[in-house]
Amino acid sequence: MTKDFSQTSREELVGRARDLIPVMRERAADTEKARKLLDETIKDFHDTGLMRMHQPKRVGGAETHFTTLLETCATIAEGCASSSWNLINLACHHWMLAMYPPRAQDDVWGISPDQLIGSSVVFPAGRAKKVKGGYELSGRWPFSSAIDCSDWLMLGGIVPDDGTPQGDWRVFLVPTSECEVIDTWHVMGLSGTGSKDVAGEGLFVPEHRTLSIHDVKGGPTPGGEVNPAPLYKIPMMGIFPYLLCPTALGNAQGAYNGFVETTKARIASYNASKIAEHQSMQIKVGKAGALADTAGLIFKSGYDEAMETAVAGKAPDLKRKLELRRDCAFGVGLCTEAIDTLFGASGGGGLYQRNPMERMFRDAHAIQAHIAFSFDVAGGAAGKYALGLGSDNPML
């Protein structure tokens, strides 16, 4: 029976996520081996309401403050980065669906508010053309996280003949059953996300199951008539990197906590001295902690600003969106540096697969590889705009 989480608070959700840390840690190796979200973890995320933290209250979701996503998913990542990454995707797609026309929301939540939605918003991977009643969509999309448990998919695509130079960039909502899932996900990090390829040819997508990015740049959306809360007026793509950064933060925090705890008892193999008493080790611990904490401050500031701006009935301008994306990418870089510092200080013991640090190191670099966290891209775009050269990003 579907639960009602409309009275569930932000604090309750964060507490439930915290209770799951040891469970996630225990399952992390099995999740990596399975290359997908474990069934028991899916059940836990459903039962706790974490899947529905940003789903509208009108369908039984918690509809909590935007920062809840950061707080809960960073907490889950302290135990398992892959599970956190998938939770982010599945939870934020409820948030995105609330921006679609009401009829599209009914198509999904009318079946069950627990329906799960995956995605690949790699827009150039999808080719679409306008047809009677909707669009015809074809393409092959990479990196569709949590696709194995998703009932629906949000797929990016470009309609080239709308009269604009770059075309109309849209997100198309399609049943997973209409697509081909291609198992390409054999990777060195974030293995448990199951981020496989998905393909479709000539998929008919009704007009109401599509969403132009022009309608989700901040402010009222097509779904606003039934979901008027400020949460659903936050610019979808303008703050996109912030949707994924919680995993980087929690992974770094989990690595730091584990390293500090184990290092207290470590003895040097070459002279039997206590590792914790080495000043060089103390400096590395201090540095890693500062890096992770600074990243956390950057992320929380961005989340809070996004929510406060929406509550005020405003939307960040292009300059601010570029700055926010720049800062988020920089923060993820700090998380990666924190893990690199700790991994480098782990000695030979850090190489063993039985040491969670080894997996966290690989996961950190897999997270860093996401285009949203490339500082060359995000920093360069912000710098280009600051120098008066404008922006060529149609999503913002």
pLDDT tens for 181-236 read 999 999 999 999 999 999 999 999 999 999 999 999 999 999 999 999 999 999 99
Long-range contacts of 348-355 (CB under 8 A, 24+ apart): none
With a cut of 80, say whether residue 163 has pLDDT above it: no
Mean pLDDT of 334-344: 97
Mean pLDDT of 87-108: 98
Contact between residue 367 and residue 328 where contact means Cβ atoms under 8 Å apart = no
| Three-state helix/strand/coil letters over 126-193 | EEEEEECCEEEEEEEEEEECCHHHCCEEEEEEEECCCCCCCCEEEEEEEEHHHCEEECCCCCCCCHHH
Report residue 262 as tokens. Answer: 């184990």
Q: Could you tell me which of 26, 237, 272 has the C-alpha nearest to residue 121?
A: 237
206 exposure class (CB count in 10 Å sphere: 0-12, 13-18, 19+): middle
Q: What three-state secondary structure class fits 391? A: coil
With a cut of 70, say whether residue 162 has pLDDT above it: no
320 DSSP β-pair partners: none
Measured CA to CA in angstroms, residue 52 lies from 9, 47, 70 at distances of: 12, 10, 14
Mean pLDDT of 113-127: 97
The domains found in the chain, sorted by start residue, are 10-109 (1.10.540.10), 117-212 (2.40.110.10), 240-386 (1.20.140.10)
**What confidence tens digit (pLDDT) does each residue in 279-298 have?**
998 999 999 999 999 999 99
169 DSSP β-pair partners: 158
Q: What pLDDT shows up at residue 164?
A: 66
User: Position of tokens 């921006």?
Assistant: 99
212 DSSP β-pair partners: 170
With a cut of 90, say whether residue 1 has pLDDT above it: no
Kind of pairing between the strands at 126-131 and 134-144: antiparallel
R_g of the chain, CA atoms, integer Å: 21
Helix (H) and strand (E) counts for the chain?
Answer: 11, 8
Mean pLDDT of 89-109: 98
Percent of the chain with pLDDT over 90: 89
Contact between residue 212 and residue 89 where contact means Cβ atoms under 8 Å apart = no
Residue 58 confidence class, pLDDT cut points 50, 70, 90 = very high
Query: Residue 142 phi/psi, 5° resolution?
Result: -90, 170
